[in-house]
Homo-oligomer: A and B are copies of this chain.
Amino acid sequence: MHNLPLHRLKHFLGLESRDAEAFAALLGEQRHFDRHDIIRRAGHTPPEIYFLIDGWVASRVESQQPRSQIVKVHLPGDIMGDSSLALDHSAETLLALNSVTLAAVPAGALAELFVRSPRFAASLFLIAQQERVWLMDRLTSVGRTSAVHRIGGLLLSLHDRLQAIDPSRPPSYELPLSQHEIGNVLGITQVHANRSIIRLEETGLIARNGRLVTIVDIPGLRKFSGVPQREFSGTPEWMRMLRSLSSSG
């Protein structure tokens, strides 16, 4: 049994709230996937969302082949598939990048929680906004920087997010993406991704050992990649007035 990574939900809810646990109670059976398994294919839309418990998942937009693009790499604690709640046909394919454990929440159960706790609703709203900000940063990186800088930005932002899950973790992690997939995230080809990784390594900002990536110089890489370090507020003032499960039952 995994210890559920509720850090993202709790970030906006605040520590006194029990809403994260209420959300966890909605989770269905845990499902497991292996690398390259497709969790949900674009076009299908079972009205449910997914909570990523363990492993990495890519969210890929299928434009006309072979122009698909990985728009998000999900890490444990992420909510997945929610961007397709607004669509009749989901926009993204969810693809396991390594061994994955997740659980689903039906949209109806989510709606009930929206009613029971406006604060939970606001929190989910803010998490979606957080995803928008990250997506905007990624668009900026892809739109305005060269391949080497994009790689740096990707490796750094993954580091930042892993750090948020486990602050005691050293600046080093196993990257389960192939270079083809890395290129797919960054909007470059596999061959050019390879060359750019090597050139980034030559700057001394990162080091590699197989797929183990180490950020050697975090401030240096942050400056180099130009990716801003976003500081997301905890529970905003206006959110404290919202009823939470902790105060209603």
Chain A residues with a Cβ under 8 A of chain B: 12, 47, 61, 63-64, 67-69, 71-72, 82-89, 91-92, 106-108, 110-112, 114-115, 118, 121-122, 124-133, 135-140, 142-145, 186-187, 226-228, 230-233, 236-239, 241-243
Chain B residue with minimal CB distance to A59? B136
Beyond A69-B143, A86-B130, A91-B136, 5 additional contacts (C-beta under 8 Å) are A12-B86, A47-B237, A67-B145, A111-B122, A128-B129
A238 touches B111 (CB 8 A): yes
Determine how many copies of this chain the complex contains.
Answer: 2
Q: Is the pair A135, B135 in contact by a Cβ cutoff of 8 Å?
A: yes
The 4 tightest CB contacts between A and B, nearest first, are A143-B187, A107-B238, A69-B140, A121-B121
Q: List 8 A-B contacts (CB under 8 A).
A: A61-B136, A69-B144, A71-B139, A86-B129, A107-B236, A107-B237, A108-B241, A135-B136
Question: What is the chain B residue whose CB lies nearest that of A223?
Answer: B64
Partner of A86, one of B68, B89, B112, B233: B233
Judge whether B71 and A111 touch: CB under 8 Å: no
Give Cα A241–Cα B107 distance, bound, in whole angstroms: 11
Given contacts A12-B86, A140-B63, contact A114 B236 (CB under 8 A): no
Q: Find the B residue at minimum CB distance from A237.
A: B47
CB-based contact A92/B136 at 8 Å: yes
Known: A91-B133, A125-B124, A132-B131. A241 touches B83 (CB 8 A): no
- A86 CA to B86 CA in the complex, in Å? 21
B115, A115: Cβ atoms under 8 Å?
no
CB–CB B133/A87 < 8 A: yes
A67 touches B140 (CB 8 A): yes
Q: A184 to B125, alpha carbons, bound, how many Å?
A: 28
**A88 close to B233 (CB less than 8 A):** yes
